[in-house]
Amino acid sequence: MFAQSATVQQIILWGSVIYFFMLGAWGVLYAYTPEMYPTAVRATGSGCASFSGRIGAVLAPYGVGAMISFLGQAAAYPVIFALIAAVCLLTALAMIVLGIETKGKTWDELAEL
């Protein structure tokens, strides 16, 4: 919907919706990720995971610029947003299939999983 926005009001509306859900995802990420590492390396593990995400955040604008240059501005936007949605859906699917429930478990119990 954001890619199809034609007015400033639509851009603000759909941008706000995207921002709302992305902030929620970050909250979950920063609560869940540290539980995957033993206490002794928790900060290092979380930092490496965050670093990987930031590398993607640095490289993504270059990829978007290349797509716009290659496809043209009008054709690139729907493709770019479809790719972003696909990555989000793949990530959600991976968490559904591979995610570990950590609620109420000690690290020793998690290490056995």
Tokens 């009008």 belong to 74
Q: What is the pTM of this model?
A: 0.66
The answer to whether the beta carbons of residues 88 and 26 sit under 8 Å apart is no
Residues in the chain: 113
d(CA 98, CA 111): 15
Q: Give me 19's structure tokens.
A: 């921002």
Element (H, E) at 94: helix 73-98
Q: Which of 85, 101, 78, 61 is nearest to 4 (CA)?
A: 78
One digit per residue, pLDDT tens: the chain, 113 residues? Answer: 777 788 999 989 998 998 898 888 878 878 888 888 888 888 898 889 889 889 988 999 999 999 999 998 888 888 888 888 898 899 889 988 988 888 888 777 777 76
